[in-house]
Structure 1
């Protein structure tokens, strides 16, 4: 079969390249800084710490799954491998949730970029944010698709270059706030929780659950380092190393940046800038007049950085779906560089439509799309954690197929997080937003899988197959 007709991913990267791609994840704090502080004030710092620790619990299980099924891309691939012998549709639903969880990162960042540019260059003209969003989104997609075309190694080193322009200034601006004494701990201690907060009310607990669900989309997203399990040269070594390194970076960054914003700006400015743009006044406060341009450079670079991670991850989730005939098989075709480029193009088109929907019905607020996207992320995390229990039943603990193993008792931890993701977090996501609108859009996108799944299953029957074992197949 010609190389450009291949359906098999190439093993070309090490844990370092996996980490380079995952370095974008800390930037995902940006859509939520103001919103979290406006809802739970200084306690938002605790939310981030708790959620990154949750990520360590979940990713320990994911590392075992990624090395047990190294031919399947990350958690969407492992989820399909575990569930498809029980229910092909549930297997597809989890991976589809992963695709929908990652690809809205691009429209979220385009919306954020529009607001950042408008606040600096066109103050007092909020309508300009829409046009800046649409223009920046188009340019970003063109750049990322070009980079994506040339392979994962090129994507990884593109990440490293952009990381220097985004994550370093993000941390630098936050660090300057501490060094210059601008972080007033009274702003945190005296505004630890909103006025009238009552821990004995259902509202308080469901609000916290909702913020944990929204935070999971950001601070647990370093699991993306496992998504390239089928492309690491040595998955048993590379997957755990990449996950631990990425998780450590997130454990530092999220509370560090959140505390800098809340402590420096205080409740008045945070509430004024909530949801959209608290980092711009932080940059202006630390760097003076040059803070605005530096903030813009940092934020736009950050948008491209995390959007590249999202495009790489979501295209592989779509590839994994199509590879199992859970989507039309044509989406599993790779280009001559071993990249699922068709899946990347389809993802980019969907994302641009999502920008238009967000501008029209979500008021242009990134957190609105984030809440919709969280629906998919809760499905994949829930089903993969439950799948960890099923995997332990399918493949004995001491089987040589398990190259890297979590402790035996980890099955109970995975069951706990599986149930929480599929129940309490789903309810909390709606509760924290105060409306069903965003979550409803998320469920509609999840249901959109049905006709595509039926199409893929028909193609499998037409090919005379009853199942797919991930051995090489041809179009």
Structure 2
């Protein structure tokens, strides 16, 4: 960070340990909800395998991210790593393309996490309709919009007082949502409602073949699954706010990864094992509700809705904090206007949080969670691909050779990171665009590309602001010396 910019943006505070970072990231298992009934539409019961492989992909990627987080302890996760590595030295002048690449990666990551607020506000509105028939006086859009306003306002107030208080909220929401979710997942196995034959008899679609059409679908499905199953890397984004990042980052990351592996695999297995593939496809938006009704009766369904709403608030909290830190990181690096880096006394990037809330209230108007996920997944695959390339560059670039690495990935991980980087870019990006064209039309794809493209003029303005700020500081520094 340059001296001039450090005076104009606020610093994040080191206030949490790995358990608190884990508590905030524990909303990630709930990211399966928008796609729980979606992936079986294409891969039948093999969706269970896709979730398992995707979480393992997350371990491969997050091993590289954990090393980056301890190598650059002031950087905020993926957005911070890529900006720092590609923007190092800014040797290309005012509009350095390497710096643009790092900034674009951070913007892509921001766009991957930010829409989670809108997606789950829409789902909350839908579940509220199911819980309270009296709310039928409101349309789905009105109820989703009101849910968003209430949730965003509460979370903004809570997080105004710093990340430590946000972690406390995470503990509370985890207790009210994740533990009952585990019960709901395990119960079908214990009560005999789970039928293994519903999985084995419908493992793959009858018309599946390994032609180009289906291979592109498979890449697209992996992109959608990655958006959920690899998202526990968000635990690394709080690097500048861990008390001991050298130890806390790896502990928070891999603890969350283990929880996600069992959660994603077992939740999908339980749903298909109770409802069958056809039953899941019939309840694609909320397949957990008929599972709850089958296992616990109608009273269980009502309790499940309440639990899931609490769970959705938790994942909204995770996304709100992660995306606001991404914007703060970009402002610190000079890749966004400095206003987005402003923090209050508790180190909360409040301007970024306000902008994110308004942006998501607009996104809610899209109405379809699957369409928003489809657009957002484009950003997430770009962010992961570029971040993994940043890891490879950091391992090869002599400028970073002598940096201390408290956590080191196994020998040869540079090749693993490169392979998964290429898997993301271009394969998963091509796949998700193709899948979008089949499922939800071209609108989400164009929305995704438009949001990503808008970053170019924003970045150009940010570079102008950054260099103007440096030019103003230089004469002042010279007068002090004289």
TM range (shorter): over 0.9
Q: How far 1:400 sits from its partner (Å)?
A: 4.6
Q: How far 1:399 sits from its partner (Å)?
A: 2.9
- The change in CA–CA distance for 1:400 and 1:328 in structure 2 (over 3 A counts) is closer
Structure 2 partner of 1:322: 331
In 2, distance between residues paired with 1:239 and 1:392?
19
Q: How far 1:65 sits from its partner (Å)?
A: 0.6
SS at match of 1:338: coil
Runs (5+) with no aligned partner, structure 1? 360-364, 468-475
In 1, distance between residues paired with 2:394 and 2:331?
22
Q: How far 1:186 sits from its partner (Å)?
A: 1.3
Structure 2 partner of 1:439: 445
Deviation digits for residues 11-40 of structure 1 (CA, Å, limit 9, x no counterpart)? 111111111111110011100001111221
The answer on whether the counterparts of 1:118 and 1:128 sit within 8 Å (CA) in structure 2 is no
Deviation digits for residues 251-289 of structure 1 (CA, Å, limit 9, x no counterpart)? 100010001111101133212112x11111111111112
SS at match of 1:12: coil
In 2, distance between residues paired with 1:13 and 1:230?
10
Structure 2 partner of 1:151: 162
In 2, distance between residues paired with 1:169 and 1:93?
39
Deviation digits for residues 413-458 of structure 1 (CA, Å, limit 9, x no counterpart)? 1111111111110111122231332122111100111222122111
In 1, distance between residues paired with 2:134 and 2:269?
26
The normalised TM-score by structure 1 is: 0.92
Structure 2 partner of 1:381: 384
Structure 2 partner of 1:203: 213
SS at match of 2:386: helix
- The change in CA–CA distance for 1:284 and 1:387 in structure 2 (over 3 A counts) is same
Question: Is 2:344 the counterpart of 1:335?
Answer: yes
Q: How far 1:395 sits from its partner (Å)?
A: 4.8
- The change in CA–CA distance for 1:400 and 1:329 in structure 2 (over 3 A counts) is closer
Deviation digits for residues 98-152 of structure 1 (CA, Å, limit 9, x no counterpart)? 1111110010101111222223434996983222211111111111111111100
The answer on whether the counterparts of 2:106 and 2:326 sit within 8 Å (CA) in structure 1 is yes
- The change in CA–CA distance for 1:340 and 1:70 in structure 2 (over 3 A counts) is same
The answer on whether the counterparts of 2:128 and 2:135 sit within 8 Å (CA) in structure 1 is no
The answer on whether the counterparts of 2:55 and 2:230 sit within 8 Å (CA) in structure 1 is yes
In 2, distance between residues paired with 1:261 and 1:431?
27
Deviation digits for residues 191-239 of structure 1 (CA, Å, limit 9, x no counterpart)? 11122111x2122222111111001110100000100011111111111
The normalised TM-score by structure 2 is: 0.91
Question: Is 2:77 the counterpart of 1:74?
Answer: yes
In 2, distance between residues paired with 1:336 and 1:428?
44
In 1, distance between residues paired with 2:399 and 2:350?
37
Structure 1 partner of 2:283: 273
> Which sits farther off after the overlay, 435-444 or 147-156?
435-444
- The change in CA–CA distance for 1:446 and 1:111 in structure 2 (over 3 A counts) is same
Question: Is 2:175 the counterpart of 1:164?
Answer: yes
Aligned length: 458
Deviation digits for residues 334-375 of structure 1 (CA, Å, limit 9, x no counterpart)? 10111111111111111111111x12xxxxx21110010011
- The change in CA–CA distance for 1:398 and 1:426 in structure 2 (over 3 A counts) is closer
- The root-mean-square deviation of aligned C-alpha atoms, in Å, is 2.2
Structure 1 partner of 2:272: 262
Question: Is 2:181 the counterpart of 1:175?
Answer: no
In 2, distance between residues paired with 1:228 and 1:442?
26
In 2, distance between residues paired with 1:240 and 1:395?
25
Structure 1 partner of 2:234: 224
Structure 1 partner of 2:476: none
Runs (5+) with no aligned partner, structure 2? 89-96, 474-482
> Which sits farther off after the overlay, 283-292 or 128-137?
128-137
SS at match of 1:463: helix
In 1, distance between residues paired with 2:327 and 2:9?
16
Question: Is 2:419 the counterpart of 1:419?
Answer: no
- The change in CA–CA distance for 1:79 and 1:126 in structure 2 (over 3 A counts) is farther
